[in-house]
Amino acid sequence: MAKLGYEHLRRHDLRHTGPTWMADAGVPVHVLRKIAGHGSLTTTQRYLHPDSNSLVAASNALSAHLNQGWSQTGPELRAV
**35-70 confidence digits (pLDDT tens):** 999 999 999 998 888 888 888 988 999 888 888 866
pLDDT, residue 11, reads 73
Nearest in space to 54 (alpha carbons), one of 20, 4, 7: 20
Asked if 53 and 32 touch (Cβ cutoff 8 Å), the reply is no
pTM: 0.57
Asked if 36 and 44 touch (Cβ cutoff 8 Å), the reply is yes
Opening angle at CA 24, ends 50 and 12, nearest 5: 65
